[in-house]
Amino acid sequence: MSELRTARLVLRRAIPADILAMHAILSSPEAMRYWATLPHVSMAETETWFEAQFFSGDPARDEWVIVQDGQVIGNIGIWKMPEMGFILHPGAWGKGLATEAASAFLTYAFATYPIEAVTADVDPRNAASLKLLQCLGFAVTGAAENTFLVGDEWCHSVYLALPRPTA
């Protein structure tokens, strides 16, 4: 499948031209506040990430860009089976777009992969992502401290899971 559609969004496979929009997101300190790395400082850094994220051929990955009105506003997918992640440009926050994209992606993921659950790892300070995932039915399964060293700051993790829906 190469495209998922919602009322306001298109989720599709990345193309090389998407790198500029992704760099705008990945170089944003606001967008990257709770990400596992510091904001990108160069296009070269984004190029390396972009290649690995979308074109590695790794069967444990299934990544999509999120498009609204013809503009790439984010990324969602499974970066390491069955762990889902997502990031949106701050200009797209607070409009329900992440929930809309995640709902479509989760339906696709459960229809495509024989996984018992989709999981997520969220910084506990990221209240918006935690709320979004819990609204989608994810439940907290655990927590850990000092799981990511981002720059000189240790970050913690809240682990969540969404079980495969029953028929």
pLDDT tens digits for 121-147?
999 999 999 999 999 999 999 999 999
Mean pLDDT throughout 85-93? 97
Q: Which residue has the tokens 């506990």?
A: 124
| pLDDT for the residue 36 | 87
Cβ atoms of 124 and 11 closer than 8 Å: no
Q: ω before 82 within 30° of 0 (cis)?
A: yes
Per-residue pLDDT band at 65 (split at 50, 70, 90): very high
Mean pLDDT throughout 55-80? 96
pTM listed for this prediction:
0.95
Cα 111–chain centre separation: 19
Tokens of 99: 């929930």
